[in-house]
């Protein structure tokens, strides 16, 4: 007699079907496992192939990064040369001469005429500021000769 149901003989029949369902579930769970004799060699071959792919991807990424670094380095270097060239053209003398011209124009020209001729005045001041390094050198050479 079974303890739980009170029926005779139902305990073994229930265990048999439970064992069958457990066995079926375990078989289904482990059915995809590879149990062939050469499993180890195939696994190692697959791992080596994946390792080679990882090395190849890493070397490609390194090459891309080096290319990006060199490109940025050249751009920064080029910018540095441009700024150095600009620094040789724009000097304290050119800034001073431009400020002096602006003050002279503002003091001597009436406001109404300033508003009327503003584009021409600004252009003239810009040209004078651009030429001021050359004018400064010429003035220095004349002063040194005298």
The residue ranges of every structural domain in the chain are 25-88, 90-146
Q: Phi, psi at residue 33, to the nearest 5°?
A: -70, 140
The answer to whether residue 30 scores a pLDDT higher than 90 is no
Q: Which residue has the higher pLDDT, 81 or 116?
A: 116
Distance CA 141, CA 13 (A): 119
Q: Which two three-digit tokens encode residue 79?
A: 């910018």
The pair of structure tokens assigned to 32 is 């995809």
Over residues 108-145, the pLDDT tens digits come to 878 887 788 888 878 887 887 777 777 777 777 888 87
Residue 144, helix vs strand vs coil? helix
Q: Is the pLDDT of residue 7 over 50?
A: no
pTM here is 0.35
């Amino acid at each position: 007699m079974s303890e739980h149901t009170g029926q005779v003989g139902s305990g073994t029949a229930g265990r048999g079907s439970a064992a069958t369902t457990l066995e079926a579930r375990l078989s289904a769970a482990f059915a995809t496992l590879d149990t062939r004799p050469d499993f180890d060699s195939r696994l190692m071959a697959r791992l080596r192939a994946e390792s080679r792919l990882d090395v190849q991807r890493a070397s490609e990424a390194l090459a891309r990064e080096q290319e990006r670094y060199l490109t940025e380095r050249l751009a920064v270097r080029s910018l540095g040369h441009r700024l150095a060239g600009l620094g040789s053209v724009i000097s304290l003398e050119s800034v001073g001469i431009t400020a002096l011209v602006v003050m002279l124009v503002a003091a001597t020209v009436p406001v109404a005429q300033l508003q009327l001729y503003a584009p021409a005045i600004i252009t003239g001041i810009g040209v004078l500021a651009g030429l001021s390094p050359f004018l400064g050198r010429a003035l220095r050479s004349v002063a040194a000769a005298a």
